[in-house]
């Protein structure tokens, strides 16, 4: 994919997140995709991937995404996308019941693209920030 095609793909991917559009989200992935996530562990295949997104969209509502940085290696089909995601805490996560709090999470996606779809995705979250905002951790004064 060219740099322009990758940016267009990432815009579509981001929009699917913001709309909690499971069908559009699933269409971004190859049938035999692999997702490696600190929250969902290793997920293989589209059906399992869709289930992880169903859970994510229940837990994190009213999602908005700011694309902070993108690094594209077109020759090898690799992309690193750094996002800041804002959402409402709408369902239990990490043993914390839905709080309705607005939270902001920094996420890095490392993607391997094949035939215009994500074949492998590795996510890296700023968990400390997320847990502080959920009230699980407390920062020292």
Q: What is the pLDDT of residues 82-127, one digit of tens each?
A: 999 999 999 998 888 899 999 999 999 999 999 999 999 999 999 8
Residue 31 in any domain: the answer is yes
Cα distance between residue 128 and residue 1, in whole Å: 35
> Do the Cβ atoms of 128 and 137 come closer than 8 Å?
yes
Strands (E), 38-114: 41-44, 60-73, 78-89, 102-114
Q: What is the pLDDT of residues 116-141, one digit of tens each?
A: 999 999 999 998 888 888 888 887 76
CATH number at residue 70: 3.10.450.50
Query: And the tokens for 107?
Result: 């996420």
What range does the domain containing 118 cover?
A: 3-134
What SS3 state is found at 56?
A: helix
> Do the Cβ atoms of 101 and 88 come closer than 8 Å?
yes
Residue 15 in any domain: the answer is yes
Residue 141 in any domain: the answer is no
* Stated pTM of the model: 0.89
Residue 139 in any domain: the answer is no
Residue 23 in any domain: the answer is yes
**Total structural domains in the chain?**
1
Residue 35 in any domain: the answer is yes
């Amino acid at each position: 994919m060219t740099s322009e095609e990758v940016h267009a793909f990432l815009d579509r991917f981001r929009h699917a997140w913001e709309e909690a559009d499971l069908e559009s989200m699933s269409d971004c992935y190859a049938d035999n995709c692999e997702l490696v996530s600190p929250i969902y562990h290793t997920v293989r295949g589209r059906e399992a991937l869709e289930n992880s997104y169903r859970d994510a969209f229940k837990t994190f509502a009213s999602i908005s995404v700011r694309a902070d940085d993108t690094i594209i290696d077109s020759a090898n089909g690799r992309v690193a996308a750094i996002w800041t995601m804002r959402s409402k805490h709408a369902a239990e996560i990490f043993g914390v019941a839905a709080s309705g709090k607005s939270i902001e999470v920094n996420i890095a996606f490392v993607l391997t693209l094949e035939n215009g779809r994500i074949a492998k995705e590795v996510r890296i979250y700023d968990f400390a920030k997320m847990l502080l905002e959920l009230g699980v951790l407390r920062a020292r004064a």
